[in-house]
Amino acid sequence: MLACTAAACLLLTAAPATAAPAESAYAIAASGLVKIPRTPSVSGPGKESLASVALPTEGPSLVGAKALNAAVKPGHAESSVAGLALNLGLLPTGTALPGLSAEVIEAECGNGKGSVSIANLKVGGKTLKLDQVAPNTTVPVASLLELTVNKQTKNADGTLTVTAVSAKLLGKTQTLDIASATCAKAAGEKPEPPTKPGDKPQPGGKAPKPTPVPAHLDVTG
């Protein structure tokens, strides 16, 4: 039953490796004093959700959320966190840090373009008004806490990663990323063929009548 012909064995061993999917997403991750793996994390077509999540440290929970979502399909990735609550004061820093909360934080990446949506983000009880934030906007909110909103990074493989909120605490001692999505730019359309040569001049020396060429124009608005 385990035997195979030389040709069949060659086919089995020489099968080409499948290319890694370009799209991926995760809802939350942290590194430093407190480590949180990418949760939930998806790569390639798929979807994963978690509800009523508490990510504990030793003692009370550092991170809480009502829902974490990550979804990926070809050319598109998105992630979101709803009901986020960060008790940063639990970090063993020796310095009081403000809490952070938000109703919804979302990141979306499609065809190599990223966008974020943030609702009712509060730091230390104060609401931060974040509407149509430009990419890589830095928001210093405390002496030891810095937020980068709509963080967008071009990767070496040509993909784009957009992270809705990226926090740095104590310099780079602790980092926290909330809602991140990575996608590739779709292959461009084939160039339109050039105008066909050979149009004859019109009587009276007028310029030749151009040959119409089908074309596609993107219209926005």
Query: Predicted confidence band at 209 (pLDDT cuts at 50, 70, 90)?
Result: low
Pairwise CA distance, residues 167 & 147, whole Å: 5
Pairwise CA distance, residues 89 & 59, whole Å: 12
Query: Could you report the per-residue pLDDT of 139-154, keeping only the tens digit for each?
Result: 877 777 888 999 999 9
Q: Cα angle vertex 194, ends 193, 195, to 5°? A: 120
**Global pTM?**
0.72
* 151 CB-contact burial (10 Å; exposed 0-12 / middle 13-18 / buried 19+): buried
Pairwise CA distance, residues 177 & 189, whole Å: 34
At residue 172, the pLDDT reads: 73
Query: Could you report the per-residue pLDDT of 149-190, keeping only the tens digit for each?
Result: 999 999 999 999 999 999 988 777 789 999 999 999 876 544
Pairwise CA distance, residues 64 & 50, whole Å: 12
Q: Which of 29-33, 86-90, 162-166 is least confident? A: 86-90
Q: Look at residue 2 and tell me whether its pLDDT is greater than 50.
A: no
Query: Predicted confidence band at 51 (pLDDT cuts at 50, 70, 90)?
Result: confident
